[in-house]
Chain A
């Protein structure tokens, strides 16, 4: 099966690439939604897309440790400068959208074939 990659998801969902361009070819397998880092740490899986409003450097640390494919910041939640820098270093795409997390999932579910 052809897996969805981050670049395709950006096009399909009209997301804005904020940082982490190096990871655009990352394959996507499912997703996880949450703003509490310990829950994300414990339950998100490798290659998941993570939908959250936590736009700071620690989100990149979590994504990197778990091998997540991308972070989607919902509701236009801003990414701070340190997050952008770290995401570029680690090659973790940070994507932004005005949709809320529920609507991101609804749309994502249409394209995610994992």
Chain B
């Protein structure tokens, strides 16, 4: 099964909708709730990063019998130093964003922790692609 989502940039009112929609689909498919939790956490973090840092983007999800693959693509500013961005507590979010409870510097670390595979490709000035894989078995 393939799903496609368009994520609005800078629109906090609909932020998280793609993750919520995928969660509903996975629930309908009868996927184990502990696996849905892993997928929800990692995808929500990635979706929010797109909204906060990258003016939105597109998400493609493929659900197969053994895994869920999520590819998030944006045309944002890119990440100059991915290793630094992977460090817990490192954030470039603005003060306003932090006041909403974002910008704890846990987005990428949470994606890594709750997915089975995480790939981040980024080019400054071009954009970022995040690939999240969670196995179903």
Contact = CB atoms under 8 A, between A and B. Distances in A.
B101 A35 contact: yes
A39 B16 contact: no
B100 A61 contact: no
Contacts of A58: 12, 15-16, 48, 100-102
Chain A: interface residue count, which band? Answer: 20 to 34
Interface of B: 12-13, 15-17, 19-20, 23, 33, 37, 40-41, 44-45, 48, 100-102, 104-107, 110, 113-114
Contacts of B37: 46, 66
A12 B53 CA distance: 43
A57 B106 CA distance: 20
A38 B104 contact: yes
Nearest to B110: A42
Contact of B100 (A41, A42, A54): A54
A62 interface: yes
Contacts of B15: 58, 61
Contacts of A65: 16, 19-20, 23, 40-41, 44
A13 interface: no
Given A64-B20, A65-B19, A65-B40, A39 B12 contact: no
Nearest to A67: B33
B104 A61 contact: no
Interface string A62-86: 1011110000000000000010000
B110 A38 contact: yes
A41 B110 CA distance: 9
